[in-house]
Amino acid sequence: MGLLLALTFALSAVETAVSAGLPAGVRIGLANIVVMLALLSMGKKEALTIVVAKSVFILITKGATAFVLSLCGGVSSFIAVLLLIQSEKNSLILISVVGALVHNIAQLAAASLILKNINTLFYAPVLIIAGVIAGSATGTVIKITLPAVTKAVNDNK
Amino acid sequence: MKFINLRDGIIVAAIFLSALAFVFVGNFFSGQTAEISVGGEVARIVPLDKDDSFFVGDVSFEVKDGEIFVTDSPCRDKICVKSGGIKNVGETIICLPERVSVRIIGKSDSDSADIIVG
């Protein structure tokens, strides 16, 4: 758990650095990988802890507005993923993509509220495109790493 | 759980394609507007969906195909003329000697976001 937390912070820092070169608001969701891994290998309490920890980290490193956005996105995404996981019919890729999309859209909505500017919502299509790509990528990473993570978690029980 | 299945593959592809479609169609119907200011005050607001040509002071403009150009100006260097056309929100053309500036603003009355967070 501690390892995953450290990983979350590291990935969050990397994502902040990388997003400096990308259009505003495009989330690559690197930290989301850790959240999903935690959810699938440990459980929802642990995963939620990571979501909150990530947001607090962002509060410390980037400030209050970013914190609110991160929390909105993270919690919304968490709930969506939690709901999707209930059904066996949902594949990992759907869950990852929806998770990424919900995260982005929730942040966009929060940003619109904060800025009191409805025009911000026009950004949605771009975010959806980015979200699908990011979701697919994170889904792939999860597929590859989950077996190892689950094994590590179980070995340590 | 499975990594991917047919139903979800189709769902994801559909989401992706419709967002893509939105972006293309949106650019077509943008109907953006240009705001021409002289000496810091807004002099004229010009819709870019109609071809047009007109003067603001001594500077002549032309709107064509959703873009606005400066076609002539009495200034010495004519940088404004050489700037070519602008059409995307936020782009600007400036003529310093004439104190004229042109800026593309979004569809509605309010300006686009003033700050970007996250």
Within a domain: B52: yes
Q: Which residues constitute the domain of residue B53? A: 33-105
- Residue B110's pLDDT is 44
Average pLDDT in the B78-101 region? 80
The domain segmentation of chain A, as residue ranges, is 2-150
The interface pTM score, or ipTM, of the predicted complex is: 0.70
Rounded Cα distance between A77 and A54, Å, is 13
Within a domain: B114: no
Quick check: B61 pLDDT over 80?
yes
pLDDT band at A12 (very low <50, low <70, confident <90, very high): low
User: What is the percent of chain B with per-residue pLDDT over 90, rounded to a whole number?
Assistant: 3
Q: Is the minimum CB–CB distance between B11 and chain A shorter than 8 Å?
A: yes
| Record: contact B7-A89, CB cut-off 8 A | yes
Are residues B81 and B68 located together in one domain of the fold?
yes
Out of A66, A85, A129, the one facing B118 most closely (by C-beta) is: A66
pLDDT band at B106 (very low <50, low <70, confident <90, very high): low
Share of chain B residues as helix, strand and coil, in percent rounded to the nearest 5:
25, 35, 40
Average pLDDT in the B14-27 region? 81
Out of B26, B113, B116, the one facing A119 most closely (by C-beta) is: B113
- Residue B33's pLDDT is 83
Are residues B53 and B79 located together in one domain of the fold?
yes
Give the total number of structural domains in chain B.
2
Least Cα distance to A85 among A27, A35, A23, A126 occurs for: A35
Rounded Cα distance between B39 and B5, Å, is 61
Q: Mean pLDDT over all residues of chain B?
A: 79
Q: Is the minimum CB–CB distance between B112 and chain A shorter than 8 Å?
A: yes
Quick check: A24 pLDDT over 50?
no
Within a domain: B84: yes
Q: Collect all residues of chain A within an 8 Å Cβ-Cβ radius of residue B2.
A: 91-92
Geometric angle at alpha carbon A55, from A51 and A56, rounded to 5°: 115
DSSP 8-state assignment for residue B88: S
- Residue B84's pLDDT is 74
In a 10 Å sphere around its CB, with 0-12 CB exposed, 13-18 middle and 19+ buried, how is residue B25 labelled? exposed
In a 10 Å sphere around its CB, with 0-12 CB exposed, 13-18 middle and 19+ buried, how is residue A68 labelled? buried
Quick check: B77 pLDDT over 70?
yes
Nearest CA in chain B to A130: B16
- Residue A41's pLDDT is 76
Within a domain: B46: yes
**Contacts of residue A71, Cβ cutoff 8 Å, sequence gap at least 6:** A51, A52, A55
Share of chain A residues as helix, strand and coil, in percent rounded to the nearest 5:
85, 0, 15
Within a domain: B115: no
- Residue A11's pLDDT is 66
Quick check: B51 pLDDT over 80?
yes
- Residue B37's pLDDT is 85
Are residues B18 and B50 located together in one domain of the fold?
no
**Contacts of residue B45, Cβ cutoff 8 Å, sequence gap at least 6:** B33, B34, B35, B36
Quick check: B69 pLDDT over 70?
yes
Say which amino acid occupies A34: V
Q: Which residue has the tokens 């209050």?
A: A64
Nearest CA in chain B to A27: B118
Least Cα distance to B74 among B55, B89, B93 occurs for: B55
Q: Collect all residues of chain A within an 8 Å Cβ-Cβ radius of residue B107.
A: 119
Out of B1, B15, B112, the one facing A91 most closely (by C-beta) is: B1
Q: Is the minimum CB–CB distance between A80 and chain B shorter than 8 Å?
A: no
Q: Is the minimum CB–CB distance between B7 and chain A shorter than 8 Å?
A: yes
Within a domain: B117: no
CB of B82 closer than 8 Å to CB of B101? no
B50: left (phi over 0), alpha (psi -120 to 50) or beta: beta
Within a domain: B116: no
Quick check: B35 pLDDT over 70?
yes
Out of A66, A88, A132, the one facing B12 most closely (by C-beta) is: A132
Q: Collect all residues of chain B within an 8 Å Cβ-Cβ radius of residue A120.
A: 113
Say which amino acid occupies B78: K
Comparing B94 with A119, the larger pLDDT belongs to B94
Are residues B95 and B39 located together in one domain of the fold?
yes
Tokens of B95: 């003529």
**Helix axis angle, B6-28 to A92-115, nearest 10°:** 30
Q: Model confidence over A60-103: pLDDT tens digits? A: 777 777 788 888 888 888 888 888 888 877 888 888 888 888 88
Quick check: A27 pLDDT over 60?
no
Are residues B56 and B100 located together in one domain of the fold?
yes
Within a domain: B10: yes
Are residues B55 and B100 located together in one domain of the fold?
yes
Specify the CATH number for the domain of residue B92. 2.60.320.10
Tokens of B36: 């021409």
Pairing type for strands B59-64 and B33-38 reads unpaired
Are residues B13 and B46 located together in one domain of the fold?
no
| CATH architecture assignment, domain A2-150 | Orthogonal Bundle (1.10)
**Selected residues 16-55 of chain B with any CB under 8 Å from a CB in chain A:** 16, 19-20, 22-23, 26
Quick check: A15 pLDDT over 70?
no
DSSP 8-state assignment for residue B10: H
Rounded Cα distance between A131 and A100, Å, is 5
Are residues B6 and B42 located together in one domain of the fold?
no
| Record: contact B118-A107, CB cut-off 8 A | yes
Distances (CA, A) of B75 to A99, A139, B68, B85, B103: 55, 58, 18, 18, 19
